[in-house]
């Protein structure tokens, strides 16, 4: 089974991706993770990608597409995969179709993790992180025992700049703008599955797995 996952920052896409991977025994492929690993290892790909990523830009399609093509040809993709972070542009989506058609295959479904913007704002705005150990808190659902002090290491707990309401709103707008064309592209193929993640992750996963079941895909775990 070949899946794509789409979800706004703060939508819980990461958790959903992990559950899908484990339940269906498919490989999770995150282009962001691959780029970060290559940057860490200082590979030629990493050095090239870093220029764009540091500037807050997308890595050019040529580089991204050939990296994904290479990744999908590896053995652990034979049982299927979940693409996360790719495609991000229509050009990438078209290229992916072309790539898959060479082996007479196609994307089976696009899982769209839905959470209204105001719910995301509420979640992200309440998030706090430790400046030292990285432990994550929530002023409503998981506060520190002492305000502003990490339970784990005793260092300062703060709100990340990019978690501030104005920044989050802007990130959500950018996400919507960039993703809308992709959703339309896959809606036309009739393969978009919406998973409402505004309540709890279990409900969202159930919704997705029921839709996948109708397409004949069964959980292995």
Among residues 42, 73, 101, 132, the one that binds Zn ion under rule CB under 5 A: 132
Catalytic hit among 160, 164, 189, 215: 160
Q: Which does 86 bind (CB under 5 to 8 A by kind): Zn ion, ligand ADP, none?
A: ligand ADP
Smaller CB separation from ligand ADP, 154 or 181 = 181
The residues near 90 (Cβ < 8 Å, ≥ 6 apart) are 181, 182, 185
Q: Is the dihedral of CA 63, 11, 117, 5 positive or negative?
A: positive
Q: Which pair of tokens denotes residue 68?
A: 């994904």
Check residue 58 for interaction with ligand ADP (CB under 6 A).
yes
Q: Is the omega angle on the peptide bond into residue 87 within 30 degrees of 0, that is, cis? A: yes
Check residue 181 for interaction with ligand ADP (CB under 6 A).
no
Check residue 152 for interaction with Zn ion (CB under 5 A).
yes
Answer yes or no: 88 catalytic.
yes
Answer yes or no: 160 catalytic.
yes
193/181 Cα distance (integer angstroms):
16
Smaller CB separation from ligand ADP, 8 or 150 = 8
State the SS3 of 186-210: HHHCCCEEEEECCCCHHHHHHHHHH
179/90 Cα distance (integer angstroms):
9
The residues near 51 (Cβ < 8 Å, ≥ 6 apart) are none
Answer yes or no: 164 catalytic.
no
Stretch that binds ligand ADP, among 81-89, 127-135, 155-163, 210-218 (CB under 6 A): 81-89
Write the burial class of residue 166 (CB in 10 Å: 0-12 exposed, 13-18 middle, 19+ buried). exposed
Answer yes or no: 36 catalytic.
no
Least Å distance, CB 23 to Zn ion, is: 32
Least Å distance, CB 92 to ligand ADP, is: 6
Q: Report the catalytic residues.
A: 13, 88, 127, 160, 171
| Chain residues that interact with ligand ADP, rule: CB under 6 A | 31-32, 35, 52-53, 58-59, 64, 85-86, 88, 92
């Amino acid at each position: 089974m070949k899946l794509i996952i789409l979800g706004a920052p703060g939508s819980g896409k990461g958790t959903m991706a992990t559950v899908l991977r484990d339940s269906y025994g498919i490989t999770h492929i995150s282009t962001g993770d691959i780029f970060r690993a290559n940057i860490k290892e200082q590979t030629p790909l990493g050095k090239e990608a870093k220029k764009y990523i540091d500037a807050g830009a997308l890595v050019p399609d040529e580089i991204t597409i050939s990296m994904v093509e290479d990744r999908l040809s590896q053995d652990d993709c034979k049982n299927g995969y979940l693409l996360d972070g790719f495609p991000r542009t229509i050009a990438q989506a078209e290229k992916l179709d072309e790539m898959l058609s060479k082996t007479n295959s196609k994307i089976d479904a696009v899982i769209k993790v839905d959470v209204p913007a105001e719910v995301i704002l509420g979640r992200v705005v309440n998030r706090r992180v430790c400046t030292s150990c990285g432990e994550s808190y929530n002023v409503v659902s998981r506060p520190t025992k002492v305000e502003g002090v990490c339970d784990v290491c005793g260092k300062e707990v703060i709100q990340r700049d990019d978690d501030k309401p104005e920044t989050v709103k802007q990130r959500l707008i950018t996400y919507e703008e960039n993703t809308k064309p992709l959703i339309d592209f896959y809606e036309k193929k009739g393969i978009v599955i919406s998973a409402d993640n505004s309540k709890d992750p279990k409900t969202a996963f159930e919704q997705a797995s029921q839709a996948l079941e109708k397409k004949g895909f069964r959980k292995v775990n």
